[in-house]
Amino acid sequence: MQLQDDYLAAYRSLKLTRDADGVLVVEFHSNGGPFTFTAQDHTELVDAFYRIGQDRANKIVILTGAGGEFIPEIEFSSFGNVADPGVWSQVHDEGVQLLENIANIRVPVIAAIEGRAHVHSEYALLANVIVASEGATFHDAPHFAGGIVPGDGIFTTWSYRAGAGRAEAFLLNPQPLTAQTAHEWGVIAEVVPNGKALPRARELAKLYLKAPEVTRRNTRVHFIQPLKERIVREVGYGLSLEGASAADLVKSMGAQNEPMAQKGRVA
């Protein structure tokens, strides 16, 4: 049975386009330009990637971003009071489901990275192959530098792709990592001229389409399984640790913002 493809236009920050060969391009964007990640997107992407993985009309999936960027920014305020257990419970559950749903896409996945992959670069690292432009950079802007644990899967994916030592150093002292360095670490398959990541990803998709469909699907399933097992084991726990650190950060910021007059009040 062929499922309906009405989901292709259902998401605010995803432009989903599928060609006649079944190559689905998933483009992150905000109003057609570079993507600023929000809480609404966190919710919608869970459903989006579930539907993408469920739809057998998708033969290859390409992840990319609009405006010469992958995911450059995040709007922290949109998540509300992350010290509230109810708020974090939703963040936790969606974070686990989102990564599991990307990992459950059962066709080859290619990431085409231009510009900044500075937020949720783990989405790209769940691809089988990453093609990045010369000017692309990878970063972890939201976590340790901002005062919270990198527990949402970014350590799991980077340590799987680059090795634990490199991942720990990268995440404890987050600085933009060049495409060339990521290539040397084995994270990126190819570095291409600026503006050529998506065209190269399309070339690879055509190459992969030459294989029989069951072969393509089962190869993705086989290749992603070890990483999927780590996601299931680690990300729920990691997000619990991240939530505790986020609550502590909110508490400490509240204490710092308490009026000095109130702190120094004498009875």
The per-residue pLDDT for range 129-175, each reduced to its tens digit, is 999 999 999 999 889 999 999 999 999 999 999 999 999 999 999 99
State what percent of residues in the chain have pLDDT above 90: 90
Q: Note the CATH architecture for domain 6-263.
A: Alpha-Beta Complex (3.90)
CB atoms within 10 A of CB 165: 9
122 assigned to active site: yes
Which of the pair, 251 or 71, is modelled with greater confidence?
71
For residue 156 the two structure tokens come to: 């799991």
**Angstrom distances, CA of residue 50 to CA of 53, 93, 105, 121, 124:** 5, 14, 8, 19, 16
Q: Which of 27, 69, 94, 122 is catalytic?
A: 122
**Angstrom distances, CA of residue 197 to CA of 12, 15, 127, 187, 204:** 24, 17, 14, 15, 11
Q: Where are the domains of the chain?
A: 6-263
Q: Give pLDDT tens digits for 67-119.
A: 999 999 999 899 999 999 999 999 999 999 999 999 999 999 999 999 999 99
